[in-house]
Every structure is written in C-alpha cells, then in structure tokens.
Amino acid sequence: MNLSKKLILVLTAGALSFLLLGCEDHLDVPAKGALSEDVLADEQGVQTLLIGAYAALDGQDEWSGAVGGGLGWEASPDNWIYGSVTGGDAHKGSDASDQGPINNIQQFNADPTLGFFDTKWKALYEGVSRANSVLRLLEQVDEEDMGAEAQLTAAAEARFLRGHYYFELRKFFYRVPWIDENTENVNQPNDREIWEDIEADFQFAYDNLPATQSDRARVNSWAAASYLGKVYLYQEKTAEAYDIIETAINNGTTSEGVSYDLMESPRDIWDPEQESGNPEAIFYLQMVADDGTVQISNSNQGMMLNFPYNSPFRCCGFYQPTQDLVNSYRTENGLPLIDSYRDELVTNDMGIGSSSQFEPYDGELDPRLDWTVGRRGVAYHDWGPFPGQRWVRDQSYAGPYYGKKHVYWQSQEGTVAFFVDTTTSNFGNFSTGFRGLMKTPRM
C-alpha cells in the first residue's frame, strides 16, 4: 500500500514537471486582447484612454449597472440619494419597501456595510484609475507622436477629472487613500487630508487647459477655476474662493466660448435641447440615449427610477419633493419668507383621489416652484395638469408631489429620451438619459 502511494506521488510530480516545462514559454505570452502602453503611446491611444476617464463620470458600466456590480442609482453622479434625499429636499419616493437601504441613508442610520456605499466607492475609484492611466501613458508618448501642447491639454483634462473624482470621495468618505499615477502599491493608508492634492489637480487644470474646446463635453480652464473655487469653499477658504469665483464670473466662458450668464427662462436651464450655447454650462456630463447599443448604460441611468409612477413614463416613482421644499417657495411681496415659510401650509391633494375635486393653493408663490415640482392641477410640462394620486405610488409614504427638472417633455420623447426593450430587469427596460447636458437636478 505504501509503495503504491509513493509510485503515484512520483508519477504525479513527474507529470506536473513535464507540464510546467512544456508551458514555460507560453506563460510569458501577454494576454490576448490586452494592449500594452507602448502600443497605445500615441495621440490616438491617449485620447482613447481619456474618453474612458470621461466615461466613468456616469458611474455606470454596460452590463451590471454601476461600476463594481451595483445598481445604477447607487453610484448616480446626480447624488440624488446622498444629496437631496438626505438633505430634506426630497423623499426616497416609491413605497417603503422598494430599495429599502435608501431609507437607512435618509434616516442617517446606515452603517459602512451598506452596499450602496461600496458601489459609490468603486465607481469613483474607477474614475481615478482611468485618469491615472492617461497620465501614466503620457509619460511614454514622444513629442513626434503627440505634440507638446496636446499632451499638456490631455494631462490637464485627466487631472481635472481626477480632481473631480477625489472631490466626490472626500465629500463622501472624509479621509481616503490618495493614489496617483506614480503610486506603485495601491494599498495606501487613509491617514491624511487630501484637500491640497485636489487643489493641485484643479490648479494644474486651470493653468493648462484652453479657454475653449472643440467638444463641449471637454472641460476648459474656466470649469477648472470654478471647481477650484468650490474646493476652497468646502475648506472655508472664503477669500481664495471669492477671488477665483469672481474672476470666473467676470471673465469665464463655456467650453464653446459662450460667456457665463444666466438663462432667460427656468425651463431652458434643464432642457437638453438647449445644451448648445447654454451660458450656464460650467461642467458637462455628456449622455446619449440613442447610441445604437439597445442598452441604457450610456444614458442617464442613475436617474432611471425617477419618473412618475403609473404614468406615460412607466416607472418607478422615486425621488419625490418634500412639503418643506414646496413651502420654501412661499413669498410675500415677491420676497422669500426666510423664517416663516412653514407658518402656512401650501395645500396639497394628500389623500384626495385624482377623480375628486381639488383646488390648488392660491397664496403667493415664487414662480420657480412650478418649474421644479409637479403638483396637482398645475401643468406638468406639456403632459397636461399633474393628476396627483394617480401618478404617485404611495402618497402616505412619500407625499403628493413629483419632481420636474429631470423629466423630459412629451414633445421630446424619441429625441432626448427613449424606451428600449430589454430583459435585464423590470426597470431596465427604458432609457431616460439626456443626450447632452446633464446637471445635478437638486430639487
């Protein structure tokens, strides 16, 4: 018995040695389908990687929703869950059981094990990784393959994007590991503040980006200046923030060369058909709803749940404005009621069926309310009067209102928004992304 065991061990070891020797040459062959830096080290390769760094802005990938395998809304660049919902402008919406973890976030009782946070972390560090890849590749590029000015612009764009991703990480997670293009070991501690690193990225971008770009979705120097001012504000560096923001206001232009200014109508601000020439466009996130893939990952997928329920939009009733937000639009002689806006309730149709009589509030309101919130009896873009309860999934849970800024007009269906048949999920069967400008639709 012992002899048999020894023979088996010897034969097995011998066979393994033969296989390893026979495969030795093959183990050194690069993986098929992978491109090395020396192959990519020219202008086309740099621009390809740079577009990938821009593409990570939406927090999504094609097959699994958010980068890292989560759901699209978990890493939405709109931050509607982590901004408006936690800030009190909006309720989660839908009903209490649907996407229950958002309840924990809304109520400030979520812990670090919540998958939403993991998804957001992965999506943002994916962006950091892609920006770093551009910067590393640029170190391999010869000037004859890509001019010095083009290299500098690409580096400035990559550092702007990296600054953006780290700014988001700093807001969400406080101290995070700083990993740049020179970091060899990614297992870095999170034992220091990174504001100075973020400032440096935006300052480099401000100093080296052109004032205009051939593509409106590419950032320019004034976008970097504006973002740098925002970074100063978050650190309460008010003097520095004032100086650079005032400079941007007085001298800044969009990437298309349009001087910064306000749009004439609140409607135009959120209308994707007004993206070209928009004087308020500081930083574009370019989305496309009809990219030919019959997928929704290149559209504004992070907002895919956020349309009136049981309506022409089909799904799903999330992201509903709060009564407090509605009341904040009360005015007196045209001026906001800073301390007393809650003293009188803007009447709503809570508990009143859509077929029952209801009279909208007749008190004085800032007209911007009805460009922001859908309320019973008031025009909901060009879809007709908002019907109230019929378009709200559960009034008793999330109130009677619905948002408007991110919702397209009926006349735009088929141009800036599409319904696409898929079988991936119940709410993955339509594309709600804007083709062009996407601003963060805070309520």
pLDDT of residue 403: 96
The pLDDT value recorded for residue 5 is 40
Q: Where are the domains of the chain?
A: 37-274
Distances (CA, A) of 348 to 322, 360, 387, 389: 11, 7, 12, 11
Question: Which pLDDT belongs to residue 35?
Answer: 60
Q: Select the CATH number that applies to the domain covering 37-274 from these four: 3.65.10.10, 3.40.50.2300, 3.30.1330.10, 1.25.40.390.
A: 1.25.40.390
Our CA angle for 231, 122, 221, nearest 5°, is 35
- pTM beyond 0.75: yes
Could you report the per-residue pLDDT of 161-206, keeping only the tens digit for each? 999 999 999 999 999 999 999 999 989 999 999 999 999 999 999 9
Q: Quick check: 134 and 49 in contact, CB under 8 A?
A: yes
pLDDT in the model for residue 99: 94
pLDDT < 70: residue spans in the chain:
1-39, 61-70, 289, 419-443
Cβ proximity of 405 and 389 under 8 Å: no
Residue 417 pairs with which residues in a beta bridge? 413
- Torsions phi, psi of 124, nearest 5? -70, -40
